[in-house]
Amino acid sequence: MAILSKIRERSAALIIIIGLALFAFVVDPSTLTDFFDSSKVDEVGIVNGEIISGKEYAEALETYRVQTGNRVSEMQAAQTIWDNLLRKKIYKEQLNKAGVTLGEEDIWQEIVKENSGVPQFLNEAGLFDEEKLKQYVTSIKEAGGESAVRWQEYVNGVVTRLEIATYNKLISGGLGASLKEAEIQYMMNYTKLNGDYVYLPFTSIPDSTVTVSKSDIESYIKAHRAEFEVAPSRSISYVKFAITPSQEDEVAIKNEVAALLEDRKEPNNVTNQTETLSGLRNTDDIAIFFEDNKSDIPLDTTYKFKKDISVTISDEIFEGNTGDTFGPYKENEHYKITKIIAITKIPDSVKASHILISHIGAARASAEVTKTETQAKITADSILKVVRKDKSKFEALAKEFSTDKSNSDTGGSLGKFDYKRMVPEFRDYAFSGKKGNIGVVKTAFGYHVIKIEDQNKPQKVVKLATYVRKIEASEETENKVFQNSEEFALELAKDTKINDAAKTKGYEVIPSVGLKVLDEDIARLGKERQIVKWAFDKETKIGSYKRFEVNKGHVVAVLTAANEEGLPSAASVTNRVKPILLKEAKATLLKAKMNGASLSEIAESNHTTVKTIANASLNTPSITGIGTEPNVLGAMYHSEPNKLYTKIVGDKGIFAFVLKKKEPPTTLPNYDTNRNKIADSRKNQTSNIYEAIKNASDIEDNRAAFYGVN
Task: Classify 205 as helix, strand or coil.
Answer: coil
Per-residue DSSP letter, 67:
H
Strand pairing category for 611-616 and 622-623: unpaired
Indicate the Cα dihedral angle 147, 152, 158, 159, nearest 10°: 180
8-state DSSP, 243 = -
pLDDT average per 10 residues of sequence, the chain (710 residues): 35 38 39 44 88 94 86 92 95 92 94 88 85 92 86 92 91 89 97 98 97 97 95 97 98 98 89 90 96 96 95 96 98 97 97 96 85 95 96 95 92 95 97 96 98 96 98 98 98 96 97 96 96 97 98 97 92 96 98 96 97 97 97 98 98 98 96 94 84 94 87
Q: Is residue 467 a contact partner of residue 290, using CB atoms and an 8 Å limit?
A: yes
590/629 Cα distance (integer angstroms): 17
Angle at 635 between CA 630 and CA 637, to 5 degrees: 95
| pLDDT reported for residue 159 | 93
DSSP per-residue codes, 267-331:
EETTTTEEEEEP-TTT-S-HHHHHHHHT-SS----SEE-GGGS-TTTHHHHHT--TT-EEEEEEE
**pLDDT at residue number 705:** 87
Question: What integer pLDDT is reported at residue 42 of this predicted model?
Answer: 76
Nearest CA-CA partner of 257 in 366, 138, 339: 339
Return d(Cα 428, Cα 692) in angstroms, integer.
60
Comparing CA positions, the residue from 32, 44, 163 lying closest to residue 699 is 44
Distances (CA, A) of 103 to 110, 112, 113, 327: 11, 14, 16, 72
Angle CA(673)–CA(674)–CA(676) in degrees, nearest 5? 65
Report pLDDT for 39: 40
In 3D space, the residue among 521, 568, 520, 656 whose CA is nearest the CA of residue 197 turns out to be 656
What was the pLDDT predicted at 25? Answer: 35
pLDDT at residue 9, rounded to an integer: 37
Radius of gyration from C-alpha coordinates of the chain: 38
Q: What is the separation, in whole angstroms, between the first and last Cα of the chain?
A: 50
Length of the chain: 710
In this prediction, residue 503 carries a pLDDT of 97
Vertex 144, ends 122 and 164: CA angle to 5°?
Answer: 65
Give the rounded distance of the alpha carbon of 549 from its chain centre.
Answer: 28
Q: Which residues of 574-604 are buried (b: 16+ CB within 10 A; e: fewer)?
A: eeebbeebbbebbbebbbeebebeebeebbe
Give the H or E element holding residue 648. strand 644-649
Q: Is 316 exposed, middle or buried (0-12, 13-18, 19+ CB in 10 A)?
A: middle
- Characterize the bridge pairing of strands 553-563 and 233-242: antiparallel
Residue 5, pLDDT score:
34
Output phi, psi for 390, to 5 deg.
-145, 95
- Residue 23: partners with Cβ closer than 8 Å, 6 or more residues away: none
pLDDT of residue 16: 35
**What is the DSSP secondary structure assignment for residue 458, as one 8-state letter?**
E
| Cα distance between residue 515 and residue 522, in whole Å | 8
Q: Are strands 303-304 and 627-628 parallel, antiparallel or unpaired?
A: unpaired
pTM of model > 0.75: no
